[in-house]
């Protein structure tokens, strides 16, 4: 059985099973992580600890295990603007310990 760790808030962690649709996983994260963070944003996603956004939000009908590495750590991020022809999405980490050193971007 594969699993991943999602980091968020003030040093909080959740183990997740990526063997489900990406949309189901993101809905689950909204329900379980935001009980301590407050109101969930409209769009969230996951990023590696190096700042590479996985883009689960853009692949709702794919299984998350195709893009998430087993036993890896991921940071919960808020997607603040949808990608359009003129505007790229902005990603804000929802982990308190992340400094200005990491720049989040979608590959």
pLDDT for position 47: 93
pLDDT for position 104: 67
Segments in the chain forming alpha helices (H): 22-37
* pLDDT-wise least confident of 53-57, 70-74, 89-93: 89-93
What is the tens place of the pLDDT at every residue in 36-56? 667 888 889 999 988 899 989
Q: Domain residues for 53? A: 4-106
Q: pTM for the full model?
A: 0.86
* pLDDT-wise least confident of 1-5, 13-17, 24-28: 1-5
Which residues lie closer than 8 Å to 23 by C-beta, 6 or more apart? 60, 61
CB atoms within 10 A of CB 107: 7
Q: Is 72 exposed, middle or buried (0-12, 13-18, 19+ CB in 10 A)?
A: middle
Q: What angle do CA 87, 65, 94 make, to 5 degrees?
A: 50
The CATH number linked to 35 is 3.10.20
Mean pLDDT of 52-71: 92
Which residues lie closer than 8 Å to 12 by C-beta, 6 or more apart? 33, 36
Domain count for the chain, please give it. Answer: 1
């Amino acid at each position: 059985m594969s699993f991943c760790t999602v980091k968020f808030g003030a040093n909080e962690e959740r183990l997740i099973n990526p063997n489900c649709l990406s949309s189901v996983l993101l809905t689950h994260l909204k329900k379980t992580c935001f009980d301590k963070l407050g109101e969930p944003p409209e769009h969230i996603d996951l990023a590696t600890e190096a700042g590479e956004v996985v883009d689960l939000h853009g692949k709702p009908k794919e299984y998350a295990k195709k893009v998430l590495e087993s036993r890896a750590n991921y940071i919960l991020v808020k997607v603040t603007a949808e990608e359009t022809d003129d505007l790229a999405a902005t990603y804000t980490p929802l982990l308190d310990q992340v400094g200005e050193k990491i720049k989040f971007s979608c590959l």
